[in-house]
Structure 1
Amino acid sequence: MKIGIIGGTGFYNLVEDLREMTVPTEYGEAVVFEGTHAGKEIYFLPRHGKSHDSLAHQVNYRANMLALKQLGIDHVIAMCAVGSLNPDIPVGALALLDQFMDMTTKRENTYGKYSVEITQPYCPDLNNTFLAAAKELDMDVTPKANYICVDGPRYETSLEINVYKQWGMDVVGMTNATEASLARELGIAYAVVTISTDLAAGTTDVPPDLDTHKNVVIDNQEKIKELFLKTIELASDDKPSIAHEAYERALAARKEKLAKMETTQV
């Protein structure tokens, strides 16, 4: 089984002897690190580049996700740092995403080849695997969280955050809805664990701070690493994900539509 892993610089030492490779795609190149764990091939992709030199709005999401697809990967687990709007998900807490709302307007977030169903954007099987891993490790993970995705690179105003809270959002970030959408268009089963690195603007007197954001991730690296390694051990591809099934339906619908167009033109 092949498993893709998307995250930040804290995953470079996820396992020993990772091999760097550059994967060319029609949207540009992506750097991927290949290794093995628990008898599975793993491929770590640093979302922001291996030097973390791309801000959220600069990430080449289409190249990143397509590179994993080209490597034959159809299961991806990811980690995202977020701001928390929910007091039950404090700084340092982990949460699994259940739904997202995409507020981005300034980025390429589709391959534009067919329409695909995304009622459940995150794979329930992978989410359950994360929860099983957390249980074995006696680790607390909030099982369901609503994520709102914004363009960045600026942080949100207090008013924006208060509106998002009224909408039922739990966490806010700048990357994940884009990844999740592209993963579904590629038929990739995808699940995400978030770590809250701060309380979002207006929910505390302490303003968002990049150094604090980084330090929270660093302080929790070992915990996150343990969770991901255990999840990889427990992961299985013995049945299709809802993402795989949605992808096959999308391909079939597109093929049928093209066939009808050809018939009409003749």
Structure 2
Amino acid sequence: MNKFATSSSVEYEKFFHSKIPLITLVVCMLVPFIGGFFMFVLKNPDFAERLGFISKKAQLIGTADWPSYLSLLAQAISIGGLIVFGFIMSWIFGREYSDRTIKDLLALPISRHMVVLAKFVVAVCWCLILSIFVLALGLLVGIMVNIPGWSQEIIVQGITIYGVCATLTILVSTPVAFVASIGQGYLSPLGFMIFTLVLAQIVTVAGYGRFFPWAIPTLASGAAGNGSFIVLAGISLTILLLTSAIGLISTMLWWRYADQH
């Protein structure tokens, strides 16, 4: 247990001494402000008419009320989270190969499984922090814009859906770590993230999104017009959890048994 704490502490220091936390924080900060701007446009038709094309884009997210705004945040964390969370995973695991520190890391008197788990702990913790930050800032922006339709029931439901979507997106990001380990760098996992994001949109349009793990968080957010928690029943949740477990276990096995040169 002491070795795991030490390994986690080391990974924590490496991660937070890099620019990745700041970069991901700034990127995530844009989401609530963009959503708040759309709500402001919908609340002010005259202003929207002067902007023209922005008005048409804003109409895509519905009306200016809290349910639409919270739904927008949930969709953003479901879709954008695949990129941001995947980027975090790819950096934490791929940097050891890019910086040529993998041999030094594996030579330490610490179990490789423990090293992998420590990396996952740091990645998941930061993804959770980013998710909470986006939600908190989103609520603040919504209050500042004075979005109508506030009620305790709506806010609790919106926060619950957002939390579920964020958790599912984090869980389905574990295979990125495996791809980063196999590809020994950043490019392979970045390509994998783009591929899964594009394929998720295609599969969802085809009507089979509930069977594709990277499309399930988006469906849970209600982006496709489905009930938010309907897709979480039965096979969809099983597929997503199985994908997450495969990503975690595969990464651990790769670091344990693959030849490291």
TM-score, structure 2 normalization? 0.31
Greater fraction of residues in helix? 2
Greater fraction of residues in strand? 1
Q: Which has the larger radius of gyration?
A: 2
